[in-house]
Protein backbone atom coordinates (compact mmCIF):
# COMPACT_ATOMS: atom_id res chain seq x y z
CA UNK A 1 0.00 0.00 0.00
CA UNK A 2 1.24 3.47 -0.85
CA UNK A 3 1.02 5.62 2.27
CA UNK A 4 -0.02 9.26 2.35
CA UNK A 5 3.35 9.91 4.00
CA UNK A 6 6.43 7.81 3.23
CA UNK A 7 7.66 5.10 5.58
CA UNK A 8 11.20 6.43 5.19
CA UNK A 9 11.36 10.22 5.48
CA UNK A 10 13.80 12.80 4.18
CA UNK A 11 14.83 13.41 7.77
CA UNK A 12 16.22 9.88 7.85
CA UNK A 13 18.74 10.76 5.14
CA UNK A 14 19.06 14.50 5.63
CA UNK A 15 22.83 14.53 5.12
CA UNK A 16 22.61 12.97 1.66
CA UNK A 17 23.72 15.53 -0.95
CA UNK A 18 22.00 13.72 -3.86
CA UNK A 19 25.30 13.88 -5.73
CA UNK A 20 25.94 13.92 -9.43
CA UNK A 21 27.99 10.83 -10.35
CA UNK A 22 27.67 9.75 -6.73
CA UNK A 23 30.78 8.02 -5.34
CA UNK A 24 28.61 5.62 -3.31
CA UNK A 25 27.66 4.00 -6.62
CA UNK A 26 31.30 3.32 -7.45
CA UNK A 27 31.75 1.65 -4.07
CA UNK A 28 28.73 -0.65 -4.44
CA UNK A 29 27.98 -2.56 -7.61
CA UNK A 30 25.28 -4.67 -5.93
CA UNK A 31 22.52 -2.09 -5.49
CA UNK A 32 23.81 1.21 -6.93
CA UNK A 33 22.56 3.19 -3.90
CA UNK A 34 22.48 6.69 -5.41
CA UNK A 35 19.30 6.02 -7.37
CA UNK A 36 17.70 4.35 -4.37
CA UNK A 37 18.50 7.32 -2.14
CA UNK A 38 17.11 9.72 -4.70
CA UNK A 39 13.88 7.72 -4.93
CA UNK A 40 13.52 7.73 -1.15
CA UNK A 41 14.10 11.51 -1.11
CA UNK A 42 11.34 12.05 -3.67
CA UNK A 43 8.79 9.80 -1.96
CA UNK A 44 9.18 6.85 -4.31
CA UNK A 45 10.40 4.29 -1.80
CA UNK A 46 8.32 1.45 -3.28
CA UNK A 47 9.86 2.13 -6.67
CA UNK A 48 13.27 1.98 -5.00
CA UNK A 49 12.47 -1.36 -3.37
CA UNK A 50 11.31 -2.82 -6.69
CA UNK A 51 14.76 -2.19 -8.17
CA UNK A 52 16.59 -4.15 -5.47
CA UNK A 53 17.90 -7.70 -5.97
CA UNK A 54 15.86 -10.44 -4.28
CA UNK A 55 18.56 -11.18 -1.71
CA UNK A 56 19.77 -8.35 0.50
CA UNK A 57 23.51 -7.84 -0.14
CA UNK A 58 23.82 -5.37 2.75
CA UNK A 59 23.56 -8.12 5.37
CA UNK A 60 27.16 -9.23 4.85
CA UNK A 61 28.57 -5.94 3.61
CA UNK A 62 30.95 -3.59 5.43
CA UNK A 63 29.20 -0.54 3.90
CA UNK A 64 32.08 0.87 1.82
CA UNK A 65 29.45 3.11 0.22
CA UNK A 66 29.17 5.07 3.46
CA UNK A 67 32.90 5.74 3.59
CA UNK A 68 32.98 6.66 -0.10
CA UNK A 69 30.24 9.24 0.49
CA UNK A 70 31.20 12.90 0.06
CA UNK A 71 30.16 13.16 3.71
CA UNK A 72 31.90 10.00 4.99
CA UNK A 73 29.89 8.14 7.58
CA UNK A 74 27.10 10.74 7.73
CA UNK A 75 24.53 9.05 5.50
CA UNK A 76 23.20 5.70 6.84
CA UNK A 77 23.06 4.07 3.40
CA UNK A 78 23.14 0.47 4.61
CA UNK A 79 20.37 1.13 7.14
CA UNK A 80 18.23 2.83 4.50
CA UNK A 81 18.61 -0.10 2.11
CA UNK A 82 17.78 -2.51 4.93
CA UNK A 83 14.64 -0.52 5.67
CA UNK A 84 13.60 -0.87 2.05
CA UNK A 85 13.88 -4.63 2.44
CA UNK A 86 12.29 -5.01 5.86
CA UNK A 87 9.82 -2.12 6.17
CA UNK A 88 8.80 -1.04 2.69
CA UNK A 89 8.68 -4.66 1.45
CA UNK A 90 6.08 -5.50 4.12
CA UNK A 91 3.81 -2.71 2.89
CA UNK A 92 4.23 -3.24 -0.85
CA UNK A 93 1.03 -4.70 -2.26
CA UNK A 94 1.26 -3.83 -5.94
CA UNK A 95 4.05 -4.67 -8.35
CA UNK A 96 5.32 -1.72 -10.41
CA UNK A 97 3.47 -1.53 -13.76
CA UNK A 98 5.27 -2.84 -16.82
CA UNK A 99 4.53 0.31 -18.81
CA UNK A 100 3.55 3.95 -18.36
CA UNK A 101 0.30 3.86 -20.30
CA UNK A 102 -1.70 4.98 -17.26
CA UNK A 103 0.19 8.27 -17.28
CA UNK A 104 -1.00 9.18 -20.78
CA UNK A 105 -3.19 12.27 -20.82
CA UNK A 106 -3.89 15.28 -22.99
CA UNK A 107 -3.62 19.06 -22.93
CA UNK A 108 -6.61 20.58 -24.69
CA UNK A 109 -6.99 17.42 -26.77
CA UNK A 110 -3.32 17.09 -27.71
CA UNK A 111 -1.89 13.79 -26.40
CA UNK A 112 0.90 13.73 -23.81
CA UNK A 113 2.89 10.69 -22.69
CA UNK A 114 2.67 11.87 -19.07
CA UNK A 115 1.37 14.99 -17.27
CA UNK A 116 4.78 16.49 -16.43
CA UNK A 117 5.99 19.65 -18.16
CA UNK A 118 8.83 22.02 -17.44
CA UNK A 119 7.41 25.35 -16.31
CA UNK A 120 8.34 28.52 -18.17
CA UNK A 121 11.67 29.55 -16.66
CA UNK A 122 15.39 29.11 -17.09
CA UNK A 123 14.94 25.29 -16.95
CA UNK A 124 13.47 25.41 -20.46
CA UNK A 125 15.26 28.28 -22.16
CA UNK A 126 17.46 26.74 -24.87
CA UNK A 127 17.45 23.93 -27.40
CA UNK A 128 20.02 21.88 -25.50
CA UNK A 129 18.18 22.14 -22.18
CA UNK A 130 14.84 21.14 -23.66
CA UNK A 131 16.42 18.29 -25.62
CA UNK A 132 18.07 16.89 -22.48
CA UNK A 133 14.78 17.19 -20.59
CA UNK A 134 12.89 15.39 -23.35
CA UNK A 135 15.50 12.63 -23.39
CA UNK A 136 15.13 12.31 -19.62
CA UNK A 137 11.39 11.70 -19.96
CA UNK A 138 9.58 15.03 -19.56
CA UNK A 139 6.48 15.16 -21.75
CA UNK A 140 6.91 18.76 -22.74
CA UNK A 141 8.05 22.25 -21.90
CA UNK A 142 6.53 25.64 -21.36
CA UNK A 143 9.40 27.48 -22.99
CA UNK A 144 10.79 30.59 -21.32
CA UNK A 145 8.62 33.55 -22.28
CA UNK A 146 9.17 34.83 -25.82
CA UNK A 147 9.00 38.61 -26.20
CA UNK A 148 10.27 41.52 -28.31
CA UNK A 149 11.77 43.27 -25.28
CA UNK A 150 15.52 43.81 -24.97
CA UNK A 151 16.14 41.73 -21.84
CA UNK A 152 19.15 42.43 -19.63
CA UNK A 153 19.16 40.50 -16.36
CA UNK A 154 20.55 41.55 -12.97
CA UNK A 155 23.35 39.63 -11.27
CA UNK A 156 22.84 37.95 -8.91
CA UNK A 157 19.15 37.34 -9.45
CA UNK A 158 18.32 34.40 -7.17
CA UNK A 159 18.05 33.98 -3.41
CA UNK A 160 16.60 31.27 -1.20
CA UNK A 161 15.15 30.47 2.19
CA UNK A 162 16.64 27.18 3.37
CA UNK A 163 15.21 24.48 5.62
CA UNK A 164 17.11 22.87 8.50
CA UNK A 165 18.75 20.36 6.17
CA UNK A 166 20.06 22.97 3.78
CA UNK A 167 17.47 22.37 1.07
CA UNK A 168 15.51 25.16 -0.57
CA UNK A 169 12.18 25.76 1.12
CA UNK A 170 11.44 29.02 -0.68
CA UNK A 171 13.10 30.47 -3.74
CA UNK A 172 13.10 34.10 -4.87
CA UNK A 173 14.00 35.31 -8.33
CA UNK A 174 14.11 38.69 -10.03
CA UNK A 175 14.57 37.16 -13.48
CA UNK A 176 12.53 38.32 -16.43
CA UNK A 177 11.89 36.77 -19.86
CA UNK A 178 13.86 35.05 -22.62
CA UNK A 179 16.96 36.97 -23.64
CA UNK A 180 16.94 35.33 -27.09
CA UNK A 181 15.41 37.19 -30.00
CA UNK A 182 12.04 36.10 -31.34
CA UNK A 183 13.76 34.70 -34.44
CA UNK A 184 16.20 32.69 -32.32
CA UNK A 185 13.39 31.21 -30.24
CA UNK A 186 11.39 30.30 -33.34
CA UNK A 187 14.43 28.45 -34.67
CA UNK A 188 14.62 26.52 -31.39
CA UNK A 189 10.96 25.52 -31.70
CA UNK A 190 11.52 24.23 -35.24
CA UNK A 191 14.56 22.17 -34.21
CA UNK A 192 12.81 20.71 -31.18
CA UNK A 193 9.70 19.76 -33.14
CA UNK A 194 11.74 18.18 -35.91
CA UNK A 195 13.73 16.00 -33.52
CA UNK A 196 11.01 15.39 -30.89
CA UNK A 197 7.68 15.44 -32.76
CA UNK A 198 5.78 13.74 -29.93
CA UNK A 199 6.92 16.18 -27.23
CA UNK A 200 4.69 19.10 -26.29
CA UNK A 201 5.88 22.66 -26.85
CA UNK A 202 3.87 25.22 -24.89
CA UNK A 203 5.11 28.59 -26.10
CA UNK A 204 4.94 31.19 -23.34
CA UNK A 205 4.60 34.67 -24.82
CA UNK A 206 4.26 38.27 -23.65
CA UNK A 207 3.33 41.20 -25.87
CA UNK A 208 3.34 44.92 -25.25
CA UNK A 209 0.07 45.56 -27.08
CA UNK A 210 -2.71 43.67 -28.87
CA UNK A 211 -0.77 43.53 -32.11
CA UNK A 212 2.25 41.95 -30.46
CA UNK A 213 0.20 39.38 -28.56
CA UNK A 214 -1.42 38.33 -31.81
CA UNK A 215 1.79 38.34 -33.85
CA UNK A 216 3.71 36.28 -31.29
CA UNK A 217 0.89 33.73 -31.09
CA UNK A 218 0.88 33.42 -34.89
CA UNK A 219 4.64 33.00 -35.13
CA UNK A 220 4.72 30.33 -32.42
CA UNK A 221 2.06 28.29 -34.21
CA UNK A 222 3.83 28.60 -37.56
CA UNK A 223 7.12 27.42 -36.04
CA UNK A 224 5.86 24.28 -34.36
CA UNK A 225 4.38 25.21 -30.98
CA UNK A 226 1.51 22.96 -29.92
CA UNK A 227 -0.13 25.66 -27.80
CA UNK A 228 0.59 29.15 -26.48
CA UNK A 229 0.64 30.25 -22.85
CA UNK A 230 -0.08 33.93 -22.28
CA UNK A 231 2.15 35.28 -19.52
CA UNK A 232 -0.18 37.53 -17.54
CA UNK A 233 1.69 36.85 -14.33
CA UNK A 234 5.45 37.56 -14.26
CA UNK A 235 6.03 39.81 -11.21
CA UNK A 236 9.49 41.01 -12.28
CA UNK A 237 8.87 43.22 -15.30
CA UNK A 238 10.79 46.52 -15.42
CA UNK A 239 8.06 48.31 -17.35
CA UNK A 240 4.53 48.92 -16.11
CA UNK A 241 1.57 47.35 -17.86
CA UNK A 242 3.24 43.96 -18.37
CA UNK A 243 3.17 40.59 -16.63
CA UNK A 244 1.28 40.53 -13.34
CA UNK A 245 0.06 44.09 -13.96
CA UNK A 246 -2.12 42.59 -16.70
CA UNK A 247 -3.24 39.61 -14.66
CA UNK A 248 -4.69 41.87 -11.97
CA UNK A 249 -7.03 43.58 -14.45
CA UNK A 250 -9.63 41.20 -15.95
CA UNK A 251 -10.45 43.56 -18.82
CA UNK A 252 -6.83 43.47 -20.01
CA UNK A 253 -6.71 39.68 -19.65
CA UNK A 254 -9.78 39.36 -21.87
CA UNK A 255 -8.47 41.83 -24.46
CA UNK A 256 -5.05 40.25 -24.87
CA UNK A 257 -6.41 36.70 -24.78
CA UNK A 258 -8.77 37.64 -27.60
CA UNK A 259 -5.88 39.15 -29.56
CA UNK A 260 -3.89 35.91 -29.34
CA UNK A 261 -6.98 33.83 -30.11
CA UNK A 262 -7.67 35.76 -33.32
CA UNK A 263 -4.22 35.03 -34.71
CA UNK A 264 -3.74 31.31 -34.02
CA UNK A 265 -5.70 28.09 -34.22
CA UNK A 266 -3.75 26.15 -31.58
CA UNK A 267 -4.92 26.04 -27.94
CA UNK A 268 -4.46 29.19 -25.87
CA UNK A 269 -3.79 29.04 -22.12
CA UNK A 270 -3.79 32.10 -19.86
CA UNK A 271 -1.14 31.98 -17.12
CA UNK A 272 -2.62 33.83 -14.17
CA UNK A 273 -1.04 35.73 -11.30
CA UNK A 274 -1.49 34.69 -7.64
CA UNK A 275 -0.98 38.29 -6.58
CA UNK A 276 -4.75 38.77 -6.29
CA UNK A 277 -7.40 38.03 -3.66
CA UNK A 278 -9.26 35.72 -6.06
CA UNK A 279 -8.22 34.27 -9.42
CA UNK A 280 -11.69 33.64 -10.85
CA UNK A 281 -12.31 37.16 -12.23
CA UNK A 282 -9.21 36.99 -14.42
CA UNK A 283 -9.92 33.34 -15.32
CA UNK A 284 -13.46 34.14 -16.41
CA UNK A 285 -12.12 37.06 -18.45
CA UNK A 286 -9.67 34.72 -20.18
CA UNK A 287 -12.54 32.39 -21.02
CA UNK A 288 -14.50 35.27 -22.53
CA UNK A 289 -11.44 36.10 -24.59
CA UNK A 290 -11.33 32.61 -26.02
CA UNK A 291 -8.87 30.74 -23.77
CA UNK A 292 -8.90 26.94 -23.92
CA UNK A 293 -7.13 26.51 -20.61
CA UNK A 294 -5.50 28.14 -17.61
CA UNK A 295 -2.04 27.89 -16.03
CA UNK A 296 -1.45 28.73 -12.37
CA UNK A 297 0.31 29.79 -10.32
CA UNK A 298 3.22 31.98 -11.24
CA UNK A 299 5.50 33.27 -8.51
CA UNK A 300 4.28 35.35 -5.57
CA UNK A 301 5.62 38.85 -4.96
CA UNK A 302 7.97 38.69 -2.02
CA UNK A 303 10.84 40.01 0.03
CA UNK A 304 12.81 36.91 0.99
CA UNK A 305 15.51 38.16 3.35
CA UNK A 306 17.02 41.37 4.72
CA UNK A 307 20.72 41.49 5.57
CA UNK A 308 20.88 42.78 9.16
CA UNK A 309 24.28 44.42 8.56
CA UNK A 310 23.90 45.99 5.12
CA UNK A 311 20.11 46.50 5.42
CA UNK A 312 19.67 45.24 1.83
CA UNK A 313 17.33 42.39 0.97
CA UNK A 314 18.38 39.46 -1.21
CA UNK A 315 19.47 39.15 -3.91
CA UNK A 316 21.56 42.30 -3.49
CA UNK A 317 22.61 43.99 -6.73
CA UNK A 318 25.22 46.68 -6.03
CA UNK A 319 23.57 47.66 -2.77
CA UNK A 320 19.97 47.53 -4.01
CA UNK A 321 17.31 44.86 -4.32
CA UNK A 322 13.72 44.57 -5.45
CA UNK A 323 10.50 42.77 -4.72
CA UNK A 324 10.62 39.50 -6.67
CA UNK A 325 8.82 36.25 -7.33
CA UNK A 326 8.66 33.54 -4.64
CA UNK A 327 8.40 29.84 -5.50
CA UNK A 328 9.37 26.43 -4.13
CA UNK A 329 7.71 24.10 -1.59
CA UNK A 330 6.66 27.04 0.61
CA UNK A 331 4.13 28.25 -1.96
CA UNK A 332 2.42 24.90 -2.63
CA UNK A 333 -0.50 25.43 -0.20
CA UNK A 334 -1.27 28.75 -1.88
CA UNK A 335 -1.04 27.20 -5.33
CA UNK A 336 -3.37 24.35 -4.30
CA UNK A 337 -5.86 26.89 -3.03
CA UNK A 338 -5.96 28.74 -6.37
CA UNK A 339 -6.21 25.54 -8.43
CA UNK A 340 -9.12 24.41 -6.26
CA UNK A 341 -10.79 27.79 -6.73
CA UNK A 342 -10.56 27.51 -10.51
CA UNK A 343 -11.64 23.86 -10.60
CA UNK A 344 -14.70 24.49 -8.41
CA UNK A 345 -15.87 27.47 -10.47
CA UNK A 346 -18.74 26.16 -12.65
CA UNK A 347 -18.21 28.98 -15.17
CA UNK A 348 -14.77 27.54 -15.98
CA UNK A 349 -15.92 23.96 -16.51
CA UNK A 350 -14.19 22.40 -19.51
CA UNK A 351 -11.07 24.55 -19.37
CA UNK A 352 -7.81 22.65 -19.02
CA UNK A 353 -5.92 23.44 -15.80
CA UNK A 354 -2.13 23.23 -15.89
CA UNK A 355 -0.90 23.57 -12.31
CA UNK A 356 2.41 24.52 -10.75
CA UNK A 357 3.77 25.84 -7.48
CA UNK A 358 6.12 23.93 -5.20
CA UNK A 359 6.00 20.52 -6.91
CA UNK A 360 8.96 18.30 -6.00
CA UNK A 361 7.52 14.80 -5.59
CA UNK A 362 4.87 12.72 -7.32
CA UNK A 363 2.70 13.20 -4.21
CA UNK A 364 2.90 16.98 -4.70
CA UNK A 365 1.83 16.59 -8.33
CA UNK A 366 -0.97 14.21 -7.38
CA UNK A 367 -2.42 16.74 -4.95
CA UNK A 368 -2.85 19.21 -7.81
CA UNK A 369 -4.37 16.49 -10.01
CA UNK A 370 -6.84 15.52 -7.27
CA UNK A 371 -7.88 19.18 -7.10
CA UNK A 372 -8.60 19.38 -10.83
CA UNK A 373 -5.33 19.85 -12.72
CA UNK A 374 -4.87 17.90 -15.94
CA UNK A 375 -1.14 18.62 -16.25
CA UNK A 376 1.57 19.70 -13.82
CA UNK A 377 4.51 22.04 -14.43
CA UNK A 378 7.79 22.06 -12.48
CA UNK A 379 10.61 24.61 -12.32
CA UNK A 380 12.19 25.31 -8.92
CA UNK A 381 12.68 21.62 -8.08
CA UNK A 382 14.44 21.10 -11.41
CA UNK A 383 16.69 24.08 -10.68
CA UNK A 384 17.66 22.45 -7.38
CA UNK A 385 17.79 18.76 -8.32
CA UNK A 386 17.93 18.54 -12.12
CA UNK A 387 15.87 16.92 -14.87
CA UNK A 388 16.51 13.50 -13.28
CA UNK A 389 13.58 13.96 -10.87
CA UNK A 390 11.23 12.96 -13.70
CA UNK A 391 12.08 9.29 -13.06
CA UNK A 392 10.54 9.31 -9.59
CA UNK A 393 7.69 11.62 -10.60
CA UNK A 394 6.60 9.13 -13.24
CA UNK A 395 7.36 5.92 -11.34
CA UNK A 396 5.67 7.03 -8.13
CA UNK A 397 2.53 8.35 -9.84
CA UNK A 398 2.29 5.31 -12.11
CA UNK A 399 2.47 2.91 -9.16
CA UNK A 400 -0.16 4.92 -7.28
CA UNK A 401 -2.57 4.79 -10.21
CA UNK A 402 -2.04 1.05 -10.56
CA UNK A 403 -2.58 0.42 -6.86
CA UNK A 404 -5.78 2.45 -6.86
CA UNK A 405 -7.09 0.54 -9.88
CA UNK A 406 -7.12 3.56 -12.20
CA UNK A 407 -6.63 2.80 -15.89
CA UNK A 408 -6.08 6.43 -16.87
CA UNK A 409 -4.75 9.54 -15.16
CA UNK A 410 -7.99 11.36 -15.97
CA UNK A 411 -9.84 9.11 -13.51
CA UNK A 412 -8.01 10.81 -10.63
CA UNK A 413 -8.57 14.41 -11.78
CA UNK A 414 -10.70 16.37 -9.33
CA UNK A 415 -11.41 13.57 -6.86
CA UNK A 416 -10.62 15.77 -3.85
CA UNK A 417 -12.85 18.68 -4.82
CA UNK A 418 -16.00 17.31 -3.20
CA UNK A 419 -14.41 17.22 0.26
CA UNK A 420 -13.14 20.81 0.14
CA UNK A 421 -15.32 23.60 1.51
CA UNK A 422 -14.56 27.25 0.78
CA UNK A 423 -15.19 28.13 4.44
CA UNK A 424 -14.95 26.31 7.78
CA UNK A 425 -18.70 26.63 8.40
CA UNK A 426 -19.36 23.19 6.91
CA UNK A 427 -17.02 21.35 9.28
CA UNK A 428 -18.36 19.04 12.01
CA UNK A 429 -17.45 20.35 15.46
CA UNK A 430 -19.06 17.91 17.89
CA UNK A 431 -16.30 15.32 18.24
CA UNK A 432 -12.71 15.32 19.37
CA UNK A 433 -9.99 13.20 17.76
CA UNK A 434 -7.43 12.42 20.43
CA UNK A 435 -3.71 12.01 19.75
CA UNK A 436 -2.19 8.61 20.46
CA UNK A 437 1.42 8.16 21.62
CA UNK A 438 3.72 5.43 20.35
CA UNK A 439 6.04 5.02 23.34
CA UNK A 440 8.39 2.73 21.43
CA UNK A 441 9.16 5.46 18.92
CA UNK A 442 9.12 8.24 21.51
CA UNK A 443 12.58 9.43 22.61
CA UNK A 444 11.29 11.48 25.53
CA UNK A 445 12.25 14.90 24.19
CA UNK A 446 9.12 16.55 25.59
CA UNK A 447 8.51 18.71 22.53
CA UNK A 448 4.85 17.69 22.55
CA UNK A 449 4.45 18.79 26.19
CA UNK A 450 6.15 22.12 25.58
CA UNK A 451 3.98 22.92 22.56
CA UNK A 452 0.80 21.84 24.29
CA UNK A 453 1.69 23.89 27.38
CA UNK A 454 2.72 27.09 25.64
CA UNK A 455 0.80 26.87 22.38
CA UNK A 456 -2.13 24.58 23.15
CA UNK A 457 -4.33 23.51 26.05
CA UNK A 458 -2.02 22.11 28.75
CA UNK A 459 -3.19 18.53 28.13
CA UNK A 460 0.17 16.71 28.06
CA UNK A 461 2.62 16.03 30.88
CA UNK A 462 5.79 13.95 30.93
CA UNK A 463 5.91 11.03 33.39
CA UNK A 464 8.91 9.80 35.37
CA UNK A 465 10.04 7.70 32.40
CA UNK A 466 10.01 10.79 30.16
CA UNK A 467 6.98 9.56 28.23
CA UNK A 468 3.98 11.79 27.40
CA UNK A 469 0.69 11.28 29.23
CA UNK A 470 -2.55 12.78 27.92
CA UNK A 471 -5.18 14.52 30.05
CA UNK A 472 -8.35 13.76 28.09
CA UNK A 473 -10.34 16.32 30.06
CA UNK A 474 -8.13 19.15 28.81
CA UNK A 475 -7.35 17.88 25.29
CA UNK A 476 -9.31 19.58 22.51
CA UNK A 477 -7.86 17.45 19.70
CA UNK A 478 -5.96 20.23 17.92
CA UNK A 479 -3.07 17.83 17.08
CA UNK A 480 -0.33 20.44 17.51
CA UNK A 481 1.59 17.77 19.41
CA UNK A 482 1.49 15.41 16.45
CA UNK A 483 2.85 18.08 14.11
CA UNK A 484 5.83 19.06 16.27
CA UNK A 485 6.95 15.53 17.21
CA UNK A 486 10.41 15.00 15.62
CA UNK A 487 10.01 11.20 15.82
CA UNK A 488 6.56 10.98 14.21
CA UNK A 489 5.54 9.05 17.32
CA UNK A 490 2.06 10.58 17.64
CA UNK A 491 -0.93 9.48 15.57
CA UNK A 492 -4.70 9.94 15.65
CA UNK A 493 -6.74 7.77 18.02
CA UNK A 494 -10.36 7.34 19.09
CA UNK A 495 -13.11 9.95 19.12
CA UNK A 496 -15.39 11.09 21.92
CA UNK A 497 -18.54 13.22 22.02
CA UNK A 498 -18.08 16.67 23.50
CA UNK A 499 -20.21 17.96 26.38
CA UNK A 500 -21.72 20.55 24.06
CA UNK A 501 -22.91 17.87 21.65
CA UNK A 502 -24.27 15.73 24.50
CA UNK A 503 -26.19 18.70 25.86
CA UNK A 504 -27.76 19.40 22.49
CA UNK A 505 -28.86 15.77 22.22
Pairing mode of beta strands 140-146, 158-162: unpaired
Q: Return contacts of 422-427, CB within 8 angstroms, 24+ apart.
A: 422/344
Query: How many CB atoms are located within 10 Å of the residue 445 CB?
Result: 16
Residues with Cβ within 8 Å of 346's Cβ and at least 6 positions away in sequence, in order, are none
What is the rounded distance in angstroms from the CA atom of residue 256 to the CA atom of residue 287?
12
- Please identify which of the residues 65, 234, 442, 485 carries the catalytic annotation: 234
What is the rounded distance in angstroms from the CA atom of residue 3 to the CA atom of residue 43?
10
What is the rounded distance in angstroms from the CA atom of residue 273 to the CA atom of residue 237?
13
What is the rounded distance in angstroms from the CA atom of residue 158 to the CA atom of residue 175?
8
**Which of 383, 488, 486, 312 lies closest to 125, judged by CA?**
383
- C-alpha pair distances (Å), 17 with each of 6, 65, 167, 384, 385: 19, 14, 9, 11, 10
- C-alpha pair distances (Å), 201 with each of 184, 198, 228: 15, 9, 8
19 labelled catalytic? no
Residues classed as catalytic: 234
Amino acid sequence: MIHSTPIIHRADMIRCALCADAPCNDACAAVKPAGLLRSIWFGNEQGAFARLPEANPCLTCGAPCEEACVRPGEVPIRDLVNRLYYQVKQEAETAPPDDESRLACDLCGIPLENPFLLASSVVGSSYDMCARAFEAGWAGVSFKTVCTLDIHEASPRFSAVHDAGGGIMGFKNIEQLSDHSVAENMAIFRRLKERYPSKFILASIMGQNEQEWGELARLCEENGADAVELNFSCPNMMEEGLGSDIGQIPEMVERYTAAARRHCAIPVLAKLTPNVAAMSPAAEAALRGGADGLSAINTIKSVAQVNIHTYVSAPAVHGLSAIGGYSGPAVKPIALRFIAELAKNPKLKGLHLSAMGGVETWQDALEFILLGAGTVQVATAVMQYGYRIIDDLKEGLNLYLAEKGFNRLSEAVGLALGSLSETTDALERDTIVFPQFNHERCIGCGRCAISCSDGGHQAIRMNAQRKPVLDGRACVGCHLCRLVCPQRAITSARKRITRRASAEE
